[in-house]
Copies of this chain bind each other. A is one copy, B any other.
Amino acid sequence: MGKLKVGMIGGGGDGNFFGHVHERAIALDNSRELVAGALRTDPEAAMAAAGAYDVTGYPSYQALLQAVQSGEQALDYVTIVTPNHAHYAPAKAFLEAGIPVLCEKPMTMTVAEAEDLKQIVDTGKVPFVLAHTYTGHPMMMFAKELVRQGRIGAVRKVEAWYNQGWLATPLEEEGLQQAEWRTDPSRAGISNCGGDIGTHAFVAATWVSGHAVTKVSARLNSFVEGRQLDDDFNVIGELDNGGTAIITATQIAIGYKNDNGFRLYGTKGSLEWHQERAESLLVRTGEVDETYWIGANFSFFPETIASYQRVPAGHHEDFFEALANLHGSMERLIRQGRGEDAPDAFDHPGVDEGVAGMRFVKAAVDSSNRGGAWTDL
């Protein structure tokens, strides 16, 4: 049971920051290692980036795939950290070759692409994990588990949000690359704020509650003058059980950093979680507020969650650890698939959540364009 070997697509250029986050997340548990990469589009730049990462470089994802198929390059799965528009092609190629994929979100540029990937995954039974990092936080997993156990009864209403302030001014005109591509329709697609962070709020609302959003009424804004895509995203949705979801995201909330979180109101109780205080979960089922803390040694965690934690109570795990948990789920799926001894993987977001996310953003944009008319997903 050696370390799993991981390849990375993208992560060498502008995506550099997040490439290194994955690099750390892969390494964190000493059971996976980053060994190969097709890290940039330009072949020469790709090889140079591989040197910087200290992995075997390939000039393109096709070259990496070929090397794997020819047996030259040992590889257990790939991570895709390219910009949004460049997720689909490599994901499709590797999945069709039967190689598991851990893909950044949003999954694709269009609903059609997303559905295509789903078809491949469903047919080929290839492990696919969507990198909604926050779903790797044990307390967000615990929230999903409590809902599943019926702790708050039937879900009536969900509120999920993601407030940021970094795009409150036109940074894209000042040359900031992160701002440039996100606000450029040719690279970001039909939505900036909705696609980038609205999808996180959407996943919180649906993945934790266990309910799909079936239709939406939306109002998107572009508050910063000259900006073509939304920097503010507000959706009222209907859940598949008739409940209501309020999903909001904004990038113009000055001083807010990654204020992502959710509240769930059920027939028996409520849950509340905040990403920026990820270490605790508030549960209310009666007169006394209950606060649960992260910590591998707490007996209230089922083994499915405790096995994802690395330190006892009082010491928190946060961002890298959450992403490492998604890589951990991929690892468990692969190892169990091979008959190796591994704990069960938690049901982290996969291709279904990816498809739903694409449909959600599309329906929200359409609804907003039609004056908030209710639009099916």
Indicate whether A145 reaches chain B with its CB closer than 8 angstroms: no
Indicate whether A373 reaches chain B with its CB closer than 8 angstroms: yes
Tell me how many residues of A have a C-beta within 8 Å of chain B.
79
Can you name the residue of chain B whose Cβ is closest to the Cβ of A267? B168
Indicate whether A339 reaches chain B with its CB closer than 8 angstroms: no
Partner among B54, B164, B221, B258 whose Cβ is within 8 Å of the Cβ of A244:
B221
Q: Which residues of B contact A312 (CB under 8 A)?
A: 17, 257
Binary CB contact string for chain A from 299 to 317 against chain B (1 if under 8 A, 0 otherwise): 1100000000011111111
Indicate whether A43 reaches chain B with its CB closer than 8 angstroms: no
Q: Which residues of B contact A318 (CB under 8 A)?
A: 315-318
Indicate whether A217 reaches chain B with its CB closer than 8 angstroms: yes
Q: Knowing A252-B156, A299-B287 touch, does A319 contact B311 (C-beta < 8 A)?
A: yes
A275 to B312, CA, bound (A): 14
Q: Are A284 and B267 in contact (CB under 8 A)?
A: no
A300 to B157, CA, bound (A): 28
Stretch at the interface among A68-76, A88-96, A290-298, A348-356: A290-298
Q: Are B221 and A289 in contact (CB under 8 A)?
A: no
Binary CB contact string for chain A from 155 to 184 against chain B (1 if under 8 A, 0 otherwise): 011010001110010000000000000000
Indicate whether A253 reaches chain B with its CB closer than 8 angstroms: yes
Closest chain B CB from A232 CB (angstroms):
6
Q: Are A288 and B300 in contact (CB under 8 A)?
A: yes
Binary CB contact string for chain A from 9 to 50 against chain B (1 if under 8 A, 0 otherwise): 000000001001101100111100000000000000000000
Indicate whether A266 reaches chain B with its CB closer than 8 angstroms: yes
Q: Are B30 and A54 in contact (CB under 8 A)?
A: yes
Q: Which residues of B contact A263 (CB under 8 A)?
A: 163, 253
Q: Are A315 and B268 in contact (CB under 8 A)?
A: no
A244 to B233, CA, bound (A): 10
Q: Are A165 and B284 in contact (CB under 8 A)?
A: yes
Q: Which residues of B contact A373 (CB under 8 A)?
A: 371-373
Indicate whether A104 reaches chain B with its CB closer than 8 angstroms: no
Binary CB contact string for chain A from 218 to 258 against chain B (1 if under 8 A, 0 otherwise): 01010100000000101010000000101010101111111
A292 to B284, CA, bound (A): 11
Among A111-139, those with CB < 8 Å from B are none
Q: Which residues of B contact A317 (CB under 8 A)?
A: 318-320
Q: Which residues of B contact A311 (CB under 8 A)?
A: 21, 319-320
Q: Are B221 and A259 in contact (CB under 8 A)?
A: no
Q: Which residues of B contact A152 (CB under 8 A)?
A: 254
Can you name the residue of chain B whose Cβ is closest to the Cβ of A299? B287
Partner among B21, B28, B254, B372 whose Cβ is within 8 Å of the Cβ of A269:
B254
Closest chain B CB from A371 CB (angstroms):
6
Indicate whether A206 reaches chain B with its CB closer than 8 angstroms: no
Closest chain B CB from A303 CB (angstroms):
16
Indicate whether A278 reaches chain B with its CB closer than 8 angstroms: yes
Tell me the A residues contacting B by CB distance below 8 Å.
17, 20-21, 23-24, 27-30, 54, 152, 156-157, 159, 163-165, 168, 217, 219, 221, 223, 232, 234, 236, 244, 246, 248, 250, 252-259, 263, 265-270, 275-279, 284-293, 295, 298-300, 310-321, 371-374
Q: Can you offer 13 A-B residue contacts whose CB atoms are under 8 A?
A: A17-B312, A20-B310, A24-B29, A24-B310, A157-B221, A157-B232, A232-B244, A246-B248, A255-B287, A256-B284, A276-B316, A288-B292, A290-B291
9 additional A-B residue pairs with CB within 8 Å, beyond A21-B311, A24-B30:
A24-B28, A156-B221, A254-B269, A276-B279, A288-B291, A290-B290, A311-B319, A316-B316, A317-B320
